[in-house]
């Protein structure tokens, strides 16, 4: 009798497992197994019900990666609906102090090493560091997607601290990302986010942007596979090239969800002191997964944005506009737009409004279909291309 019962049990188990297998994407099935085997040693079948986003932390020779990892582990638990295994990829050899910090997290992370430490022949003017960053990103992303079979990856660097709802933000945007093929990435950063230029009350507001920018960003395996072969240098600028971007946009927050504390990075002190250190970061926990974010899907977003622009008041005379603001001529809640006719006029307007207006491949930070939105003296403003939108002029970058 016991034998028969066991046999029945065995058959029931086999049928159950087969049924489960047919429900799963085989690619994901293998992936989560691999990752959890390495990191959690947990029962992988019970984990199948949750989506997986691997967190890939790129480290080098800075022990301050501890600040990054501590924030990751502090806030990851606040979003249990998604499985976020952490992989730390270390470049620059086994810098002892940094290695020790990474090892101190034990089984909580998977620690891998970028093997190619050879010097890189540069073009003579570009810093070696930018080449090494490109090499490390390419290697580590391939490891995450192909070796560990991550279906989605968030890339962090060792000088980034994450905000309380960082994981919640990615958990909530993942379904949109997987649904809307016009989304290239989801990024946690916003280089325009200086005090006074973003709306500090709009803590749950998200946007689309055509500009690719990292500092905590998510990419799916599918999108990764859609890209050409990784460049030797300036991988982030490369991602904004027409052939890679293919008309796709990224989701970005109004208020950043990462804080860059790396004054000693490759970009140098000036960039950090002039821009990065003033950037704001969200301190709140927005339960993004409970919000309706469908306004970010391409057609909804385009409709909503053109409505917002057309409902805003046209500014034709900047001094007159400033006077109007000072004399309370404009009602509370009124928004405005300024038309520009060419890249030079756009650049001058960004200087006037103290925005970060440099462009790469014709696209400025936070720009969407040529439109840049920000806050000026408490009012929402849109810089809008004049006439019908015809796409970016990728050959014109005014670094003035």
Ligand X SMILES: *[C@@H]1O[C@H](CO)[C@@H](O)[C@H](O)[C@H]1NC(C)=O
Size of the site for ligand X (CB under 6 A): 12
- Residue 199 vs 394, nearer CB to ligand X: 199
Choosing from 68, 233, 371, 375, the residue that interacts with ligand X (CB under 6 A) is: 375
CA distance 162 to 154: 12
Residues 297-356 that bind ligand X (CB under 6 A): 300, 333
SS3 161: strand
- Residue 127 vs 304, nearer CB to ligand X: 304
DSSP 144: I
> Mind giving me the DSSP string for 342-356?
SHHHHHHHHHHTT--
Residues 181-210 that bind ligand X (CB under 6 A): 199, 201-202
Closest approach of ligand X to the CB of residue 349, in Å: 18
Pairing mode, strands 258-260 and 160-162: antiparallel
- Residue 41 vs 290, nearer CB to ligand X: 290
CA distance 335 to 314: 9
Active site residue 25: no
CA-nearest of 52, 48, 53, 39 to 17 is 48
Q: Which residues contact 376 (CB under 8 A, 6 or more apart)?
A: 197, 353
CA distance 64 to 262: 9
Closest approach of ligand X to the CB of residue 307, in Å: 12
CA 187 to centroid of chain Cα atoms: 2
Closest approach of ligand X to the CB of residue 356, in Å: 19
Closest approach of ligand X to the CB of residue 308, in Å: 10
Contact between 380 and ligand X per CB under 6 A: yes
Contact between 378 and ligand X per CB under 6 A: yes
SS3 293: coil
CA-nearest of 160, 252, 174 to 208 is 252
Contact between 292 and ligand X per CB under 6 A: yes
Choosing from 295, 306, 315, 339, the residue that interacts with ligand X (CB under 6 A) is: 295
CA-nearest of 72, 81, 76, 93 to 52 is 81
Closest approach of ligand X to the CB of residue 199, in Å: 4
- Helix 96-103 / helix 65-76 crossing angle, nearest 10 deg: 10
Binding region for ligand X (CB under 6 A) out of 235-243, 256-264, 288-296, 306-314? 288-296
- Residue 128 vs 300, nearer CB to ligand X: 300
Catalytic option among 159, 180, 236, 274:
236
Catalytic residues: 236
Contact residues: ligand X, CB under 6 A: 199, 201-202, 292, 294-295, 300, 333, 375, 378-380
């Amino acid at each position: 009798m016991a034998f028969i019962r066991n046999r029945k049990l065995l058959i029931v188990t086999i049928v159950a497992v087969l049924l489960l297998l047919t429900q799963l994407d085989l690619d994901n099935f293998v992936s989560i197994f691999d990752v959890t085997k390495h990191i959690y040693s947990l029962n992988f079948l019970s984990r199948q019900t949750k989506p997986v986003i691997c967190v890939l932390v790129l480290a080098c020779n800075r022990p301050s990666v501890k600040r990054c990892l501590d924030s990751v582990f502090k806030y990851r638990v606040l979003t249990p609906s998604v499985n976020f295994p952490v992989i730390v990829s270390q470049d620059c050899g086994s810098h002892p102090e940094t290695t020790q910090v990474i090892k101190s997290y034990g089984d909580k992370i998977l620690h891998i090493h970028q093997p190619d430490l050879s010097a890189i022949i540069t073009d003579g003017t570009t810093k070696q560091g930018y080449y090494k960053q490109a090499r490390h990103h390419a290697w580590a992303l391939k490891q995450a997607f192909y070796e560990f079979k991550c279906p989605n990856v968030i890339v962090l660097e060792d000088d980034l601290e994450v905000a309380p709802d960082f994981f919640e933000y990615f958990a909530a945007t993942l379904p949109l990302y997987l649904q809307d093929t016009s989304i290239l990435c989801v990024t946690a950063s916003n280089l325009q986010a200086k005090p006074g230029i973003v709306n500090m009350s709009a803590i749950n507001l998200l946007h689309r942007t055509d500009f690719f920018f990292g500092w905590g960003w998510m990419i799916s395996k599918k999108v990764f596979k859609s890209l050409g072969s990784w460049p030797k240098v300036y991988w982030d600028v490369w991602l904004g090239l027409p052939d890679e971007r293919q008309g796709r946009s990224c989701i970005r927050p109004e208020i950043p969800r990462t804080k860059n504390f790396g004054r000693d990075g490759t970009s140098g002190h000036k960039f950090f002191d002039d821009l990065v250190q003033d950037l704001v970061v969200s301190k709140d926990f927005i339960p993004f997964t409970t919000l309706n974010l469908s306004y970010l899907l391409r057609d909804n977003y385009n409709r909503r944005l053109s409505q917002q622009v057309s409902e805003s008041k046209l500014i034709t005379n900047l001094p007159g506009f400033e006077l109007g603001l000072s004399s309370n001529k404009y009602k509370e809640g009124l928004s405005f737009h300024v038309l520009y006719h060419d890249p030079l006029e756009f650049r001058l307007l960004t200087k006037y409004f103290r925005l970060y207006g440099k462009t790469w491949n014709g696209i400025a930070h936070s720009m969407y279909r040529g439109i840049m939105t920000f806050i000026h003296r408490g009012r929402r403003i849109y810089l809008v291309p004049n006439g019908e939108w015809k796409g970016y002029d990728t050959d014109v970058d005014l670094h003035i």
